Each structure stands twice: as C-alpha cells, then as structure tokens.
Structure 1
C-alpha cells in the first residue's frame, strides 16, 4: 500500500518527534555513565515515547494545518510535551522500580526535549512549506 502524502508526512513528523526523545535518552544515559546499548536507550525512552504518542494526537500536534505552520506546530508540540512529561517520568520510575526522580530531572527533561522538539518542528515546517511551494 502506498501512503498518501499526508500519511507519509505525518509519519515522518511523528518519527522525528520520537527521535528527539530517543536522542535525549541516549545523551542522558551516556552523560550519566549508564549502559549505552540501543536496547537500554529505547527502554529508557519508552515511557516518554508512549506518553508522547498519547498526548500529541490529543492536542492536534499531527493535524496538517498545524504541522506546516512553524508557530502552531511548535506550540502544539510543547503543549503535548507538557502533558506527556509527568506520565513519562512516572512510567520511567515504575519500569525501573525506583523512586520518583527529583524535580530537577523533570525540569531538565522538559527543557532539553522541549528544545529538541522546537528545533525539529521548525525544520519540518520549513521543509513542508518549501515542498508545497515547489509543488505549485
């Protein structure tokens, strides 16, 4: 089955969003001297990816009219990330069978992934606009 342009661009946007979360997990595990294998990194990122995949569609982060507009795309992504953060942190603690991490972890996680999402979403919106311009 061939994906429509909308489906493929939405899949690419979602893949990039998830890649930002995985990138943060990889940076975090490396900076803390933890295991750096892909399985460990993905297990670390999994609760955040799951909560993201629930929150992002709920706030319309993948709507086509939002994805192509830089400010709207970034705004929806940050709203989704704000909603996904606490469940992600809680899920991480449950999977690791550890105490809830300090607030500094949640703040750092929110800020760094937020910055990564802003950069990715801005790049994606720019590429979408350029692609639409060339198609016309």
Structure 2
C-alpha cells in the first residue's frame, strides 16, 4: 500500500491541527477529536479523489496530490461541520485553510526538495566518478538509486 504512509502523515497533521486549535482557545486539547473528525472524513475523501487524478504514476507525496487533499479537507471539513450543527466562522476558515495548507502541502514540498537535492548530489557524484578514470559502473547506479530513493514510498 504505497498510499498508506502519506495518509498516516496527513492524519497525524490534521490531529495536530485540531489539538493546537483547541489549546489555543484554552479548551481541553484532549477533546481534539471533536474538532478533527469532520476534517478526517474530508481528508479520506480528498485522498480518494486524488487517487482518481488522471496520469501516471500517481504519487500521494506529490504537490498536486497534496493540493487536492488540502482543498477537499478544508472545504469538506467545513461543510461537514456545518451539516453537523457546528460553526465555521470566517476567522476559523482562514486559519484552517492556512494551517492545513502548510501542513498538508508543506511536508510534500519539503520531501520534493529533499528528493531533488539527493538526486542532484547523486548526479554530481556520478560526474566526478566519470572524470576520475575508468568507471566501475557505480556512477550510473548511484544516479538510478538516488532517483528511486526519493520515490521509495511508491
């Protein structure tokens, strides 16, 4: 299940968002599930919709995937809150949109940066090995491994 690690990270981040929100209003942070449940339902729906995106390969740690999950989580979470009789005041909508955006898209941006950096350092290492003399075949393998290591969650 290549999708599971990304879903787990997203669930944890939504739970952290809810706990921080409860604590910032001096409410019992232990009741964070009261805040989190609509967003968790929407998060799962967001992952399901992102899985339906056209194109291959589908990567749940990609920026596009994260953007879909973020938008559906915020919009769906607010809608579920309202349908369940809770409120969705404008300041809460703004804060939730920003925080969940930073959380759900942010970790994917960091992961993409690390993958690019790892691939670039692997390519630089391969170029140095080629300039150093006869190749042992490790240069090409190093580049291939660097490219694949960033996508190991697949």
Return the TM-score normalized by structure 2: 0.63
Instruction: Supply the distance in 1 between the matched residues of 2:73 and 2:40 (Cα, whole angstroms).
Output: 9
Measure how far apart 1:131 and its partner are.
8.4
- 1:61–1:43 distance in 2 versus 1, CA, 3 Å: farther
- 1:56–1:16 distance in 2 versus 1, CA, 3 Å: same
Instruction: Supply the distance in 2 between the matched residues of 1:133 and 1:84 (Cα, whole angstroms).
Output: 29
Equivalent of 1:77 in 66, 88, 97: 66
Whose relative contact order is higher, 1 or 2, with alpha carbons under 8 Å and at least 6 apart?
Answer: 1
Q: Deviations over 1:14-41 (max 9, x none)?
A: 000111111110110111111111xx11
Contact 1:47-1:87 at 8 Å conserved across structures: yes
1:59 aligns with 2:50: yes
Measure how far apart 1:123 and its partner are.
4.3
- Find the counterpart in structure 2 of residue 132 from structure 1: 148
Over aligned residues, Cα RMSD in angstroms? Answer: 3.1
1:46 aligns with 2:33: no
Measure how far apart 1:42 and its partner are.
2.1
Contact 2:41-2:77 at 8 Å conserved across structures: yes
1:32 aligns with 2:25: yes
Measure how far apart 1:13 and its partner are.
0.9
User: Matched residue of 2:75: which SS?
Assistant: helix
